């Protein structure tokens, strides 16, 4: 089972769950809205590897930022994330 570490705390990912669902289930405050990859409110950044391209749709300069609502935790190729983006990228 994969896990995600955010701000020093590690959380297990359930099968078929998105990164956003994992974080919200664990009571991590992540801004969100549409939950369909449209509003970009849930943008967070991987501190490890590049996130899946499919979770970066609509982002111009990705810099390892991705949309947590459309990134399935099981497909993620990273472990550590920041929940506070430096700013909107587009």
Which residues are at the interface with ligand FES (CB under 6 A)? Answer: 32-35, 37-42, 67, 69
CB of 68: closest distance to ligand FES in angstroms?
6
CA distances from 82 to 78, 88 (A): 12, 14
- Closest CB to ligand FES among 41 and 82? 41
CA distance 17 to 8: 21
- Closest CB to ligand FES among 4 and 67? 67
Burial class (CB in 10 A: 0-12, 13-18, 19+), 5: middle
CB of 67: closest distance to ligand FES in angstroms?
5
């Amino acid at each position: 089972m994969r896990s995600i570490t955010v701000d020093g705390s590690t959380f297990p990912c359930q099968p078929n769950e998105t990164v956003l669902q994992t974080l919200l289930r664990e009571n991590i405050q992540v801004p969100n809205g549409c939950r369909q990859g449209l509003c970009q409110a849930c943008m967070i950044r991987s501190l490890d590897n590049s996130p899946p391209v499919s979770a970066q749709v609509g982002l111009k300069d990705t810099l390892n930022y991705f949309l947590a609502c459309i990134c399935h935790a099981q497909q993620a190729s990273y472990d550590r994330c920041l929940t506070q983006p430096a700013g909107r990228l587009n």
